[in-house]
């Protein structure tokens, strides 16, 4: 099975501008990508990176600067089965990823917390993607339209993508890879001084608040 990791190489993670400089955001995105690639390899897979521009990475690369849905659909059109795992899942572990590949369904979806699709497996030649809006809902409907059997993987680790500063708390709370260590080196810290909330601080400034949730697979 092909395993493809899409990566925005040029202007990644713009919604983290309140925490990091452009150069830091590029470095942070690369650290998350490396953590995802490492977890996939430890789960027994050989990932490829679908990147918007050429990058120096220890994996085969496919350069495609078209919008995400178009670029992923081009991969799917080349033949299935294919797994697509987003590059901003720093909590992903080999065990969590093994759960993604375990169901015997035509389409397996791992939803994100905000209604997106953070990872999927398709074995159906007619399944295509649409990453706009509530893509998890749309991908379920597309699977039904092409007559594909469907499974959903409910995983906190696969559901946690990092787009906004509030998401950094999840990495500090539950992360075990290089992404968490990178944040700590940048002086991003948890502030647990509140009664039931977890804050994020960098250089002594509170950036966001986040409920402390359970750590599950």
50's tokens: 């679908």
- Which residue is associated with the tokens 């995105």? 29
Question: In this structure, how many other beta carbons lie within 10 angstroms of the beta carbon of residue 44?
Answer: 11
Confidence (pLDDT) at 135:
96
CATH for 2-159? Answer: 3.90.550.10
**pTM, two decimal places:** 0.91
Confidence (pLDDT) at 210:
47
E strand segments, the chain: 2-7, 47-51, 61-63, 82-85, 107-111, 117-122, 150-152, 188-191, 198-202, 205-210
Confidence (pLDDT) at 75:
98
Q: What is the largest CA-CA distance in the chain?
A: 54
Q: Per-residue confidence at 215, pLDDT binned at 50, 70, 90? A: very low
Picking from 72, 204, 214, the residue whose alpha carbon sits closest to that of residue 156 is 214
- List alpha helices for 107-216, DSSP H: 135-145, 156-159, 168-174, 178-185
Tell me the pLDDT tens digit for each residue of 8-55.
998 899 999 989 999 999 999 999 999 999 999 999 999 999 999 999
Tell me the pLDDT tens digit for each residue of 94-113.
999 999 999 999 999 999 98
Q: Per-residue confidence at 211, pLDDT binned at 50, 70, 90? A: very low
Higher pLDDT: 86 or 164? It is 86
Report d(CA 166, CA 151) in Å as an integer.
Answer: 29
Burial category of 2 from C-beta neighbours within 10 Å (exposed 0-12, middle 13-18, buried 19 and up): middle
Tell me the pLDDT tens digit for each residue of 58-76.
999 999 999 999 999 999 9
Domain ranges of the chain: 2-159, 165-210
Phi then psi for residue 209, to 5 deg, are -125, 145
């Amino acid at each position: 099975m092909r395993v493809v990791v899409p990566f925005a190489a040029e202007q990644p993670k713009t919604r983290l501008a309140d925490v990091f400089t452009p150069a830091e955001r590029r470095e942070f995105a690369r650290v998350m990508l490396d953590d995802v690639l490492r977890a996939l390899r430890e789960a027994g897979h050989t990932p490829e990176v679908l990147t918007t521009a050429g990058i120096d990475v220890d994996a085969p690369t496919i350069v495609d600067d078209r919008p995400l849905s178009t670029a992923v659909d081009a991969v799917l059109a080349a033949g299935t089965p294919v797994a697509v795992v987003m590059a901003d899942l720093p909590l992903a572990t080999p065990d969590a990823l093994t759960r993604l590949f375990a169901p015997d369904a035509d389409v397996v979806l791992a939803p994100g917390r905000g209604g997106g699709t953070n990872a999927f497996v398709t074995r159906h030649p007619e399944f295509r993607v649409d990453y706009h809006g509530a893509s998890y809902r749309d991908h379920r409907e597309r699977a039904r339209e092409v007559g594909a059997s469907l499974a959903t993987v409910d995983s906190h680790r696969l559901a946690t993508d990092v787009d906004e500063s509030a998401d950094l708390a999840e990495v500090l709370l539950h992360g075990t890879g290089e992404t968490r260590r990178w944040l700590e080196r940048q002086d991003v810290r948890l502030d647990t001084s509140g009664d039931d909330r977890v804050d994020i601080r960098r250089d002594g400034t509170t950036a966001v608040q986040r409920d402390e949730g359970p750590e599950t697979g």
